[in-house]
Amino acid sequence: MLTGRSPFGSAETVSDSIAAILTREPDWNALPADTPASVRRLLRRCTHKDVDRRIHHIGDARLELDDAAGESVQDSSHATGRAYWRTALPWAVGAIGVAVAAVTVLWPRADRSTSAAPVTRLELTLPPNLELYTSARTIALSPDGSRLAFIGVLNGSRQIYLRRLDHFEATTLRGSDAVSTLFFSPDGTSIGFVTSSGLLKTISLTDGVVSTVSDRVSFLGGGAWGADGSLIVQRGSTLWRVPRTGGEPKQLMALDAAHRDTRHAWPIVLPDGKTMLFAAASNDGWRIDSLDLDMGERRTIIERGTLPLYVNVGQLAYFRDGQMFTVPFDAAALKVTGPAAPLIEDVRR
């Protein structure tokens, strides 16, 4: 607003604008010659690439504006300029703040080929005397990414703890005693879990009602909640589908003799609700396969890997040899579309 043009140049698309903001510096020479030094400093702080060095709040900018307004005036033309700065600069700073906020919101959805994506890290600090249960899959993130469920051990007792990511405290879910693995429903309103005694249960996060669905279920192979309301769990060495309301479990597939399968585990259901990914163990190690839940068709997705996790931005994460990898994945075509990249090393399986 102070220069009469966009600080990062014109762009035809949102992606072009984001790329320009992330990779270019404004043309500081375009500012009027009598721009106070404190104003120039403020604008640089508003547009700094490093978020830790960027002004976070308009209240901080106000302090800088007050300093600019208090600078000595050498002549009447500068006095006129000072009045201009006091009127125009708050709007300019606000416009820059909106631009920075827009990049923060839009960047995860934009084309990332022009720059490295920003990294967000979450650290889960457990309450005093509470330990994380680390057998099988014992952590689950709600489908909307707002809540984290994990199995905690306190004084020898295992229960599900639920924490909203915008809160620090984790609450205990009553009725989840002896839980050994857990998973969210597709709508995030319930959690399925398996106890150490082999009971498959569900718990409603709305009213806390706990229901027993089936027995003789293995807690060592994870579980998944299908779009049709059924639950997919391991019984024996294979995966079975169980209606949530109870009823006779149905085996989804037999062990693949051609691959010398010995075990199927770690199911996840893709967003279409029709396809399942799972890990298959054989004498040659683990691999990740897909299964069409309606037609029964199978195919191999990852030759060496286990514990699949699908991320809705088109990435498949999996575990192999003490590392977590991600690979671009077309969920509709069930096809890996790029090379795998290591994400985290020294992962405890």
DSSP annotation of 183: E
CATH 2.120.10.30 region(s) of the chain? 131-345
Tokens of 1: 């607003």
Q: Which residue has the tokens 């029709």?
A: 274
Supply the pLDDT for residue 134.
86
Supply the pLDDT for residue 128.
84
Tokens of 43: 């604008």
Of 242, 278, 246, 284, the closest CA to residue 262 belongs to 284
Beta-carbon contacts of 151 under 8 Å, excluding residues fewer than 6 positions away, are 132, 133, 138, 139, 158, 159, 160, 161, 179, 180, 181, 182
DSSP 240-256: EEE-TT----EE-----
**Beta carbons within 10 angstroms of residue 243's beta carbon:** 16
Supply the pLDDT for residue 1.
81
**What CA–CA distance (Å, rounded) separates 241 from 276?**
11
DSSP annotation of 301: E
Supply the pLDDT for residue 60.
77
Tokens of 146: 């707002």
pLDDT tens per residue, range 223-238: 999 999 999 999 999 9
Q: Which helix (H) or strand (E) holds 195?
A: strand 190-195
Torsion of CA 241, 242, 243, 246, to 10 degrees: 170
Contacts 24+ apart (CB under 8 A), 191-196: 191/140, 191/149, 191/160, 192/223, 192/225, 192/231, 193/160, 193/223, 194/218, 194/219, 194/223, 194/233, 195/219, 196/158
- Gap between the terminal Cα atoms of the chain: 54
Are the beta carbons of 260 and 245 closer than 8 angstroms? no
**What CA–CA distance (Å, rounded) separates 306 from 318?**
6
Of 274, 307, 260, 270, the closest CA to residue 288 belongs to 307
**What CA–CA distance (Å, rounded) separates 148 from 163?**
5
Q: Which residue has the tokens 């703890």?
A: 161
Are the beta carbons of 26 and 8 closer than 8 angstroms? yes
Q: Residue 129 — left, alpha, or beta (φ > 0 → left; ψ -120 to 50 → alpha)?
A: left
131-345 sits in which CATH class?
mainly beta
Local structure of 68: helix, strand or coil: helix
The dihedrals phi and psi of 159, each to the nearest 5 degrees, come to -145, 165
Average pLDDT by stretches of 10, the chain with 349 residues: 81 72 83 86 83 78 73 48 55 56 49 57 81 88 92 94 89 95 96 96 96 93 94 96 90 91 96 95 94 94 95 92 94 95 83
Are the beta carbons of 61 and 29 closer than 8 angstroms? no
Distance of CA 144 to the CA centre of its chain: 9
